[in-house]
Amino acid sequence: MGIYLNPGNDGFRRAIRSEIYVDKTGLIARTNKYLDTEQQFICVSRPRRFGKSMALNMLAAYYSCGCDSRELFTGLKIERDQAFEEHLNQYNVIALNMQQFLIRAKKQAVTDYLEQVVIRELCEAYGELFSEQETILAAALEKIYAQTNKKFIFLIDEWDCVMRERQESEDLQKMYLDFLQNLLKDQPYVALAYMTGILPVKKYGQHSALNMFWEFSMIDQGFFEEYTGFTETEVAALCERYDMDFKETGSWYDGYQLTRFPHVYNPKSVVEAMHRHRFSNYWASTETYDALKIYMDMDFDGLRGDIVQMLGGERVKVNTSGFQNDMRNFRTKDDVLTLLIHLGYLGYDTETKEAFIPNREIIEEFENAMSVGGWSEVMRILQASEKLLEDTLRCDGESVAAGLDRAHTEVASILTYNDENSLGCAIGLAYYSARKDYKIIRELPTGRGFADVVFLPLPTTGKPAIVIELKVNQPADTALSQIKDRRYTQALEGYAGEILLVGISYDRDNENKTHSCVIEKMVVGEIG
């Protein structure tokens, strides 16, 4: 076994010996299908903490010749696959962590350093097949393959670190991409190339040096969805095992919505929560909020408004097609929002092409980023939201209306506030602190229309459910009557207990543009 050539199975062994291991070996069945095919080049990009390196360790353990990994896969999903025996430990694997090469190269060109150390290791195994003076990795591999007829599998981690950490150097980026193209494209010695990173393949106008790669990103994970994070079934099993509340786990770490798996959880944070038996923001332990603030503060028209809408629980349309897949070339707010999707700060709905803040953990990151300046008006709304919720729970409609008046004054410069939809967004922002105790649902289907905003209490909070109906230029009593007449409370299937019915009106034509609010309390039995 080597460092780069056939690194063996130690990394995967550590994973399966860990207290929490979630079986993702079904990924191997996928990669087996594309060995030596037109689809043999795969680039899977995901945020940090989403198990990219663990997946590469698993693939290295399975494919690397020179070790016996059969025992490690005993009882796991891949063992039941028909192709399991055929490919187990049958390939030369070259594993490259580009982050390490970038750090170690120092003043030397990163690709020169990479070729130097990998060729040195190839010499130890195959030195008799090529000249000791060979300095081009692709040339050495060509000669090895010509003599042995044994193909290589390339596993490349942090493939995009040059784009992320050398943002100012276009020349270095192009040189690096050309190196990868020469190493992999149209080379007979390649059986599979599996790259992971945060960003998809870098674009240069109409040209891409790596256009042979089949890309799977947070915009569209395709058939790699199941392996992107933890699924709902996997998290439910962990919650049962560790006696953790499943619904609260979802409010903290769920929200990455994919096509076949509408509930995908941040795996690193779920594991931390289970180990520590405590829900918290574990994202902050691996990345500072400064990175998020840089992009939030970019001066693109409409960006601040979109962020405020998402903080209020809304979704915003995003055109992801123009993003250049780097962290420097931004032309529109859509480019910034697309980057935040790739970084994991936003979820993305492929069907509707909408972005949103996925969960409570990420909401806290936005709050942290806003707290250090530039978002004072929004922070004042968030800080006042605790009192607004208290006033609501006390059924103090007059104080609620006054609080909404103040929130509207703060947000008026950012949000257009002319209809019930924009009013709903402002309400979501004004009740920001309620997310700690409630699941907030906009436009909940009721069978006889849609309830504008519903607050469903999380387990153990002891708080009542809240149903809010919004009206513009109509009395708040009309909103309250609609909740009753259309029996919106019947949509809270399975809920028993106290429900607050809240009618809120905004008088757009009044000179002072004031709100009014009426609140009634009701108690329901088991509904089903």
Helical pair 246-253 and 232-242, crossing angle rounded to 10 deg: 130
Q: Which residue in the block uniquely carries the two structure tokens 């605790």? A: 386
pTM of the model: 0.90
| CA 427 centroid distance within chain | 26
What six digits make up the tokens of 223?
């058939």
Q: Where are the alpha helices (DSSP H) in 167-314?
A: 170-184, 232-242, 246-253, 267-276, 290-296, 303-311
Q: At a CB cut-off of 8 Å and minimum separation 6, what does 448 contact?
A: 486, 487, 488
Predicted local confidence at residue 492, as pLDDT: 81
Q: Which residue in the block uniquely carries the two structure tokens 């050309």? A: 178
Beta carbons within 10 angstroms of residue 185's beta carbon: 16
Q: At a CB cut-off of 8 Å and minimum separation 6, what does 321 contact?
A: none
CA distance 425 to 312: 5
Q: 471 forms bridges with which residues in the sheet?
A: 505
CATH 3.40.50 in the chain is located at: 10-216
What six digits make up the tokens of 490?
């019947």
Q: Where are the alpha helices (DSSP H) in 371-412?
A: 376-393, 397-411
Beta-carbon-side half-sphere exposure of residue 343 (alpha carbons within 13 Å): 24
Predicted local confidence at residue 1, as pLDDT: 72
244, exposed or middle or buried, with CB in 10 Å at 0-12, 13-18, 19+? Answer: middle
Beta carbons within 10 angstroms of residue 260's beta carbon: 10
Predicted local confidence at residue 286, as pLDDT: 62
Beta carbons within 10 angstroms of residue 449's beta carbon: 16
Domain 10-216, classified CATH 3.40.50, yes or no: yes
Q: At a CB cut-off of 8 Å and minimum separation 6, what does 234 contact?
A: 22, 265
Predicted local confidence at residue 239, as pLDDT: 97
Predicted local confidence at residue 206, as pLDDT: 47
CA distance 297 to 310: 15
Predicted local confidence at residue 525, as pLDDT: 62
What six digits make up the tokens of 306?
């979109």
Q: Are strands 465-472 and 450-457 parallel, antiparallel or unpaired?
A: antiparallel
The one-character DSSP state at 418 is -
154, exposed or middle or buried, with CB in 10 Å at 0-12, 13-18, 19+? Answer: buried
Amino acid at 259: T
What six digits make up the tokens of 84?
């399991």
Q: Which residue in the block uniquely carries the two structure tokens 């059986």? A: 191
The b/e string for 345-355 (b: 16+ C-beta within 10 A; e otherwise) is bbbbeeeeebb
CA distance 289 to 299: 18
The b/e string for 270-293 (b: 16+ C-beta within 10 A; e otherwise) is bbbbbeeeebebbbeeebebeebb
Predicted local confidence at residue 527, as pLDDT: 39
Low-confidence stretches of the chain (pLDDT beneath 70): 203-208, 285-288, 413, 415-422, 446-448, 510-513, 525-528
Predicted local confidence at residue 528, as pLDDT: 37
Q: Helix, strand, coil % (nearest 5) of the chain?
A: 45, 15, 40
Length of the chain, please?
Answer: 528
Taking CA atoms, 197 is separated from 156, 223, 337, 404, 437, in Å, by 9, 17, 18, 43, 35
The b/e string for 201-234 (b: 16+ C-beta within 10 A; e otherwise) is bbbeeeebbbebbebbbbbebbebbbbbbbbeeb
